[in-house]
Amino acid sequence: MPPIQKHLSVVQEDKALTVKLRKGLYIDNLQGTKEDEDALQQLCWDALRVYSSANLSLREWVTNSVKLRKLLHLKGLASEVQNKVKVLGIHWLTDMDMLQLKGHEGRPTVLTKREVLSITAGVFDPLGVLLPGTIRARKFVQYLWRIECEWDVPIPEDKEAEWQGIYEDMMNSTSIVFPRQVTDSKKVMLHLFSDASTTAYGGVAYLVSKGSSKLAIKAKVAPIKPLTIPKLELTAVMLEACLAKYTYEAYADELSIENIYLWTDNQITLYWLSSKKLLPVYVQNRIDETKGLVPDAEFRCVYKGQRQ
């Protein structure tokens, strides 16, 4: 166990506080949030006290609270002016309390499979905000593998224009900003939607209360070995269930998630999920894994734009 985690596990403090600090710790970065400025200040002072008891100094604080920022600046722990900072690979625009992703920098002089893969992998997008562009890039990489393009040989000339369009879309997308706060309600529902095509499949998660907030998107390129659309739709539901489990665990301590709904637009998949029969191995394995990930979820079908 890392020393910081060890200290937080044995320190004689309020257990709720130490649990929150442990969950908010990522390597040597600590993050936390509260509903009002007074509670946020208290969390800050509590964190400083707990860490100082082990002679650990928390420094370089960043906050969207102007009041707390001034207090931290007086203590020499934060800069008074913070407009755009990098937090775990994502740009945080503190004045607007918005997030912005960082794209790939530089453009190669010779376009090869190695460069295409480097650019595609160089876009850090943990929430899947840029997936409409990056999934096209992944499909392009799969195409290069399919035609057995060598690593350092220029890609086919007739595909250069297609890649340039994909690249421009990805880079333009990195200018998009989106709110850091996902909801102002404590009681919410989790709705997830999945879909599939012959080339890709994926799912998207929403928190729903008075309104709806997009949480995360996850998608994958379809296997090179062809699968039927129903099997791809079922695989998308399994990916949707993984996303449901991930988002539920991420927000369960902060929000009361009352229900989880998984939506699909494929009625064959919905039939498989409700069937009591022993189905083919590929289908049965994915149904078992899906239900094991979110055993309390309700599966519903969206068909021709209407809920069934």
C-alpha 17/C-alpha 50 separation (Å) is: 9
What's the confidence (pLDDT) of residue 23?
84
Q: What residues contact residue 183 under an 8 Å CB cut-off, 6+ apart?
A: 207, 209, 213, 255
In the block, tokens 């160089």 appear at: 122
Q: Each residue's pLDDT tens digit in the chain (308 positions)?
A: 677 777 788 776 777 888 888 888 887 788 888 888 999 999 999 999 988 888 888 888 999 998 999 999 998 888 877 788 888 788 899 989 999 987 666 677 789 999 999 999 888 888 998 898 899 999 999 999 999 999 999 999 999 999 999 998 888 887 788 999 888 888 999 999 999 999 999 999 999 988 888 999 999 999 999 999 999 999 999 999 999 999 999 888 888 999 999 999 999 999 999 999 999 999 999 999 999 999 989 999 875 444 44
What pLDDT shows up at residue 306?
Answer: 46
To the nearest 10 degrees (0 to 180), the angle between helices 267-274 and 229-251 is: 70
Element spanning 64, H or E: none
Alpha-carbon distance of 16 to 169, in angstroms, equals 44
Torsion of CA 158, 164, 165, 171, to 10 degrees: 160
In order of 86, 102, 232, 266, 277, the CA distances from 175 in angstroms are: 15, 8, 32, 34, 50
If one counts every other C-beta atom within 10 angstroms of the C-beta of residue 69, the result is 20
For residue 78 the two structure tokens come to 């934060």
Tokens of 76: 């020499």
What one-letter code names the amino acid at 29?
N
Q: Is the pTM of this model over 0.75?
A: yes
Are the beta carbons of 244 and 262 closer than 8 angstroms?
Answer: yes
202 neighbors 131 (Cβ within 8 angstroms): yes
Nearest to 216 by CA among 181, 261, 173, 247: 247
